[in-house]
Each structure stands twice: as structure tokens, then as C-alpha cells.
Amino acid sequence: MSESPIAQQHARTPRPGDLTDRLVATDVWTDQMLAEAGIPVVDVPFVTFGGGIGSFVTVDYLRISGVPTSAIRVLTPLRTPWESYEYLTTVSQIPRSERLRSDSQSRPDNIWGFPSYAIAEGPKQWWNVFLEPIFTRYYTPRAGHAFTAMEREMHRIRYPEMVVPGQVRMVRRRAGGGYFTILTPPEGAAPTRRIAYRSQWVHVAVGYPGLKFLPDLQRYRQRYDDFARVVNAYEPHEHVYERLHRRPGTVLVRGGGIVASRVLQRLIDDRDQRGLQTQVVHLFRTYVAGAHGPSVFSRRPGADGWAYQGFNYPKSVWGGQLKQRMRRTSGEERARLYKEMGGTNTPLRDDWLEQLARGRREGWYRVVIGQIEDMRPVGDLVEVAAGTDQGPQLGTFDAVIDCTGLEADIREHRVLADLLDHSGAGRNPVGRLDVGTDFELLGTRNGGKIYASGSATLGGPFPGVDTFFGLQIAAQEIADDLARQGFVQRLGPGRSTSQWWKWVRNTQI
Ligand SMILES: Cc1cc2nc3c(=O)[nH]c(=O)nc-3n(C[C@H](O)[C@H](O)[C@H](O)COP(=O)(O)OP(=O)(O)OC[C@H]3O[C@@H](n4cnc5c(N)ncnc54)[C@H](O)[C@@H]3O)c2cc1C
């Protein structure tokens, strides 16, 4: 049905506070242009948007360095900084009681990393960190511990006072210096549809640009409109486990990373604890049979299909030779080093090894090497055709759990695409946002700076940007750079020590 002429006219007439065509098409905006569009302007020196862990650790650093709450605004749809992270860990089978994948000192609630999570957890864990990794496996904190600690810090630094709810639509340079960050507040929360934040500094911390599914999964969904039997592990899929509880079934798990490990653990825990008879077929695209790597100095252990690595990044990126090497390289050489470091892997954990060994022995866990070629629903089940090292195979499953979770291109994120198209931002050698050593978004300088941290900046001079510790290093570099521009005092030893004591005593600042 076509729209009535009145509705069409209504759609074309911008309301006060709407983005006008002129604004959308213009790279550098004047104050006058916003006034004409009826978009109210709020002045604040520093804006961070995203509002997840990346924004939180940056604000934490600035607050501890002495920046007042009035000088910072956090533009975000999230209620707490860990909301989005907790959603992803929960659906991918890391509930609060399970352990994360970063080390004891990577604490988003504590810029000093001391006392570490292990010290806080008790004497048994002190020994663990002392003896690892030779005599014990690496210690990693429980998810719940990280969240409760962040909650305490959030109130201590008066984070909620700085939060403005809403979604950021774009950031544009301002004629005369600085930037406009356009916020869309929740429906009915503000008198106008958009608000512009005029600031000298902007920090972009939007997390993952989006989730990209493998083509076979997308094809299946488009063709059969079935979102229940073929799922991605980053989507809510509790119904799969519940169905297996109601009746015995066979599941195909695809992937060789930590998410596949956790999904397998959940399936096997359910077998053990709920007495289920679930059969598991595990599809590896690349099967790792033993230690592997480009040289004897950078090898990863591996076995039974998996590549093993304690943390989400090799530890040497935090300060060893690898860090130095990365800082010195650029272009294709950097892209090559990233490729060498990359590759799917999972931590070595005794409970997983025991479960899978038992499954292999008892015949309810089988490994196949290959790739899915086609999927189609057959009655209640899904028929999967796969090309494998044993030739073409056909099997039927109650569910397919895809644990490959590829990240979408940065262009999939509207704000990042806008930064590329209108604000001078460019791509680094691996195709993400190009940042310098102080996390400035190169090419966007305008009498102020735009900074970016997190996954969107992977491929820069500092690896490991999408980790708690990496986000904190970015925060520190950004704070130092802001100190050079006079926005904040550099955090020297005296202030750092007195602030640490305040942290210990949970004194609000
Ligand atoms: C399952 C999983 C487990 C992980 N485990 C670990 C671990 O154990 N240790 C570790 O160090 N790292 C881990 N990471 C990596 C990383 O530390 C986390 O993903 C962390 O949450 C990244 O923080 P962030 O601020 O970049 O993104 P997020 O915390 O996701 O926050 C970014 C937020 O920005 C918001 N946003 C997006 N667009 C806009 C917009 N236009 N306007 C306003 N807001 C917007 C979104 O709501 C988004 O949630 C893990 C990641 C995943 C997915």
C-alpha cells in the first residue's frame, strides 16, 4: 500500500531537532547550522561514547587523575558498563560463576592491577599465580568477581552522574575547532530528537562493529526462516539445551575457540548433571594435532584439534619483545605479524580435557574435520552436508551451534562508517580504524582530538586492544596525551599512591 500524500509530506518535512540533509552532507559543521536545524548544543570538554568497558576504564583513569565529573559525558544506551559484555559472556556460556580469560591483574575496576583478583580471592589462588604456568594452569578470575568489582568502582568515581542515555548517530568536525557528537536520546526522554555535544575531545569505544555469520548460516536462515535449530553461540540459545533436556538428541558444534569449549562444557555438564544422553559431533575447519607456530620462539601448544593459549593474547604483547616489534612495524609487515599472532585458540583447562577425553572414550563425542556445505530442515531436524577429510558426509542433527563468531567490517557500524566518510578517519593495515600510539584516530584532528579504543582499532601499533588490559593501556595513553594538552594533570607517583589508598578504602572521589 502506498503512503498517503499527507504522510509523505510529513516524512519529508524535518521537525526541529532533526538532522537536515545539509548537515548530513556537510563534513565540517558550524554552530549556526545546528541552530538552524533546532538541535540544542551541550558543551562539555570530553565526550566518550559506547559506555562499555572501554569507556569505563578511560573515565576511571581521568577521574583518578583529577578530572571533575562535570567535564566528562558518557553517551550510551547501556545501564552499566558491563551490561553488553555480560550479555555476550552469558549467552556464550560464561555465567557469573565461570572463569574469564584474562589474567589476575587485568582489572577494569583497578588501574593499578593491585591487589590482583587472585589476591582478593584467597590463599589457594595466591599459590596458583606463584606456580603458574609450570606447575599449575593459569589463574583467571570469575566473571561475577569482575562485575561486582566494577560496580563498586562505578559508584566510587560517580560514573552514573556522567552518563547520558541514548545512541550516538555521528561525530562531525566543528568549524573553529572541536567536534559535535550527535546523540539520539531514548524516545520521549528529551524535548528534541537529537542533541549535539560540543567538545574538544571525543573518545570512540563502541565495542564490536557487529556480528558476521558464515555464509552457510545466513543462507539457511534466509531460505528456511529457521532461527531456532541453527544458532550462533553469541545469540541467546538456551532453548537448544532445554530441548535436549526434554528429549535426547545429537548436536553439531562448529568452531575451535573458547566459545566452542564453553558450549561443549555446557552440553557435557548437562549430560553429567541432568543425566542426558546428548551426542556431540564437533566440526573443526582446521585441526591442530600438536605444537605449532611460525618459529620455535613463538609456538602454541595444541592437541586433539585445539590450539591452546592461556589468555586471549600472548603475554609478550603487554611489554615484551613483541610489543616493541609491533610499535616499530607498519603496513604489510604489521598485517603479517597480526596474522601470525591470530588464529583461533582456547585456554588449556583440566575439566575440559577430562570431559572430552571421556566423551571420546565412551563414543558420545566425535570429531570431524571439514566445512559445512549445505543445511536444510528435515522434519524436526537439520540435515547437514559437509565436505570432510573423509570425503562428503551427510548427517541429521537436533541443533547446530555455530561458535565461529566472526566480526563484521567496521563499515557495518553506522558511526564508524560516518567517521570514515566525513571526518578524515582511515583504515590500518588490517582494515580497522587507524590509530596512533596514543590512540588518536589519525586524520581527524581539529583543534582537538578524537581517540578510539577496543576491537574497532585492532591492527594498530599496540596489539591486544580488545582486552581489559589493552583497554586500560589505551586509557593510560589517552590520559597522558590529554595531559600534554593541558586537560588533566599527569598521574605522578604522589597522586597515584594517595589515589590507590582511596581505592583500597573505597573512598568516593
Ligand atoms: C564472550 C567474550 C568474552 C571476553 N572475555 C574477555 C576476557 O576474559 N578478558 C578480556 O580481557 N577480554 C575479554 N573479552 C574482550 C573485551 O575485553 C570485551 O569485549 C569488552 O567488553 C570490550 O569493551 P568495549 O568497551 O570495547 O566494548 P563493550 O563493552 O561491548 O561496549 C561497547 C558498547 O558501545 C555501545 N555502542 C555501540 N554503538 C553505539 C552508538 N552508536 N552510540 C552509543 N553507544 C554505542 C554498545 O552498546 C556496546 O555494547 C571478551 C569478549 C567477548 C565477546
Confidence of residue 127 (pLDDT cuts 50, 70, 90): low
Tell me the pLDDT band of 106, cut-offs 50, 70 and 90. Answer: confident
Query: Ligand 1, from 467, 472, 473: best to mutate by most atoms within 8 Å of Cβ?
Result: 467
The Å distance, Cα 85 to ligand 1 centre, comes to 5
Residues in contact with 504: Cβ distance below 8 Å, sequence separation at least 6, in sequence order: none
**Number of the ligand 1 atom closest to the C-alpha atom of 206:** 34
**What distance in angstroms lies between residue 208's CA and the mean position of ligand 1's atoms?**
6
Digit-coded pLDDT (tens) for 129-165: 666 666 566 678 899 999 999 999 999 999 999 999 9
Q: What average pLDDT does range 285-311 have in this prediction? A: 74
Say whether both 152 and 205 belong to one domain: yes
264 and 382 assigned to the same domain: yes
**The predicted structure's pLDDT at residue 5:** 45
Q: Are residues 197 and 217 in the same domain?
A: no
Q: Does residue 3 form part of some domain? A: no
Ligand 1 centre to CA of 236 (Å) is: 17
Within this chain, do residues 221 and 79 fall inside the same structural domain, yes or no? no
CA separation (Å) from 54 to 106, 159, 207, 454, 506? 13, 13, 8, 6, 22
Looking at residue 198, its pLDDT comes to 98
Residue 458 lies in a domain: yes
- The boundaries of the domain holding residue 399 are 212-289+345-405
**d(CA 354, ligand 1 centre) in Å:** 31
C-beta of residue 180 within 8 angstroms of C-beta of residue 197 = yes
Model pLDDT for residues 379-405, shown as the tens digit of each residue = 999 999 999 999 999 999 999 999 987
**179 in the same domain as 283:** no
Q: Mark 345-376 as b/e (b = at least 16 C-beta within 10 Å).
A: bbbbbeebeebbeebeeeebbeebebebeebe
Residues 190 and 201 in one domain: yes
Residues with CB under 6 A from ligand 1: 49-55, 75-78, 84-85, 88-89, 92, 100-102, 106, 167-168, 205-207, 312, 415, 454-455, 466-468, 471
Same domain, 473 and 385: no
- Span from the CA of 453 to the centroid of ligand 1 (angstroms): 10
Asked whether residue 171 falls in the same domain as residue 278, the answer is: no
Residue type (1 letter), 441: L
My answer on whether 52 and 193 are in the same domain is: yes
β-strand partners of 45 = none
What CATH number has the domain bearing residue 356? 3.50.50.60
- In a shared domain, residues 172 and 264: no
Neighbours of 201 (CB within 10 A): 23
Distance CA 292, CA 332 (A): 23
The answer to the question of residue 73 being in a domain is yes
Please tell me the residue having the least CA distance from ligand 1 atom 14: 467
pLDDT on residue 3: 43
The CA 194 to ligand 1 mean position distance, Å, reads 25
- Same domain, yes or no: 364 and 492: no
Question: How many structural domains comprise the chain?
Answer: 2
In a domain, 6, yes or no: no
Amino acid 438: pLDDT: 95
